[in-house]
């Protein structure tokens, strides 16, 4: 979701939760996302995952598909954008997941899927997003230039 912040556009991103990401910042942020099956559209899945990860509903506004972006793992993420200027949520109820931690300890612990979410200028988001999602920022900049 892009937002105009003065002259520079900002995007809404989330810092990945759990022990692997807790001490990292660069390359540890993500567009809220998740998997979906044949019984759900990509947009419906994006809206559902937004709510599951952040604990708030995505804004009821018009979304446009920005594109599909492949990860080196072979997974693909479909990214949607919207004018999110009016999205002002600051308190979140982050969803959780369970995993064995520490490794091979036999103990299962619960961790937040994401532990922070915020509007971030494109220039900073480019450094902070996981590598596989950075091309979405390039596409967003192309789209915004074409609309100017």
Residue 5 has pLDDT above 70, yes or no: no
Question: What ranges do the domains of the chain cover?
Answer: 2-147
Residue 123 has pLDDT above 60, yes or no: yes
Q: Tell me the mean pLDDT in the region 64-74.
A: 93
- Percent of the chain topping pLDDT 70: 95
The whole-angstrom separation of Cα 54 and Cα 91 is 9
pLDDT value for 148: 78
Residue 59 has pLDDT above 60, yes or no: yes
Report the run of H or E that residue 47 belongs to, with start and end.
helix 42-54
* pLDDT mean across residues, the chain: 92
- For residue 40, give both structure tokens: 């759900």
- For residue 28, give both structure tokens: 């540890």
Residue 3 has pLDDT above 60, yes or no: no
Residue 8 has pLDDT above 90, yes or no: no
What's the CATH number for 2-147? 3.90.79.10
Report the run of H or E that residue 143 belongs to, with start and end.
helix 134-147
Q: Tell me the mean pLDDT in the region 40-55.
A: 95
Q: Tell me the mean pLDDT in the region 30-54.
A: 94
Residue 147 has pLDDT above 90, yes or no: no
Residue 1 has pLDDT above 70, yes or no: no
Residue 37 has pLDDT above 80, yes or no: yes
Residue 2 has pLDDT above 80, yes or no: no
Which candidate, 28, 9, 32, places its Cα nearest to that of 142? 9
């Amino acid at each position: 979701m892009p937002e105009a912040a003065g002259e520079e556009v900002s995007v809404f991103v989330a810092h990945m939760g759990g022990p692997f990401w807790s001490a990292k910042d660069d390359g540890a942020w993500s567009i809220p996302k998740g998997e979906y099956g044949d019984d759900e559209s990509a947009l419906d899945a994006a809206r559902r995952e937004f709510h599951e990860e952040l604990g708030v509903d995505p804004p009821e506004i018009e979304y446009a598909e920005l594109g599909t972006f492949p990860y080196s793992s072979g997974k693909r993420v479909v990214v949607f954008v919207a004018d999110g200027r009016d999205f002002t949520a600051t308190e979140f109820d982050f969803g959780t997941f369970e995993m064995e931690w520490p490794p091979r300890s036999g103990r299962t612990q619960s961790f937040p899927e994401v532990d922070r979410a915020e509007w971030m200028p494109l220039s900073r988001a480019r450094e902070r997003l996981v590598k596989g999602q950075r091309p979405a920022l390039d596409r967003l900049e192309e789209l915004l230039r074409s609309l100017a």
